[in-house]
Amino acid sequence: MVVAVAEESRGADHARPWIEQAQASGKSSYWQLIDTEHRLEDLYNLVNVPQAIWIDEQGRIVRPPETAGSTDHFRRMDLKTRTMSPEDQAERLAARQAYLDAVRAWVDTGKHALPATSARMNLPKVTPAIAEARTRFRLGVWLRANGHAAEGDLQMAEASRLHP
């Protein structure tokens, strides 16, 4: 089963349009959840969107966090029209499809799973800067939610600086 989780500290309403768009387009054949507290980031040291982590039926990580079929083609997007060239769009979609095909192959055959030692060695490390960034992020979320938006924004900015 594939589960997509949006990490959205501003609340479910900020992620919901993306989820509804995926459902309306028929491209959503998996569960879609919203993590407003960024718990998955803490549990698996996720640092980028979109990232994926493969976990088997026994709860073992068989592929550590990795970019999930994404490319940097969006960086060449025309910001005024929010469009990409047909070539960039095709390459982006091909990368996504290749990743989904790899996930399906893993589910069906076990292909692409890493041995436990390799998966463990490739898990991202939590540095002191990352730990501080997470603390400041949580404080910023709390401050925003409790009527101190400006102070919260300062904490969020420092968290982003420490761990972009």
Same domain, 41 and 103: yes
Q: Are residues 156 and 119 in the same domain?
A: no
Which domain range does residue 73 map to? 3-124
One domain, residues 58 and 120: yes
Residues 71 and 138 in one domain: no
- What local confidence, expressed as pLDDT, does residue 102 receive? 93
Q: What crossing angle do the helices spanning 149-162 and 128-145 adopt, rounded to 10°? A: 160
H helix intervals, 11-163: 12-24, 39-44, 86-109, 116-121, 128-145, 149-162
pLDDT in tens, 43-56: 888 876 678 899 99
Same-domain status, 109 and 28: yes
- Cα–Cα distance measured from residue 55 to residue 63, given in angstroms and rounded to the nearest whole number: 7
Kindly state whether residues 107 and 140 are assigned to the same domain. Answer: no
Domains held by the chain: number: 2
Tell me the whole-structure pTM to 2 decimals: 0.72
State the average pLDDT for the chain: 85
Counting every residue, how long is the chain? 164
pLDDT given for residue 127 in this prediction: 92
- What pLDDT band is residue 133 in, cutting at 50, 70 and 90? very high
Same domain, 46 and 78: yes
Share of the chain above pLDDT 90, in %: 32
120 and 160 assigned to the same domain: no
User: Is 70 in the same domain as 140?
Assistant: no
Residues 50 and 68 in one domain: yes
Task: Name the pLDDT band for 25 (thresholds 50, 70, 90).
Answer: low
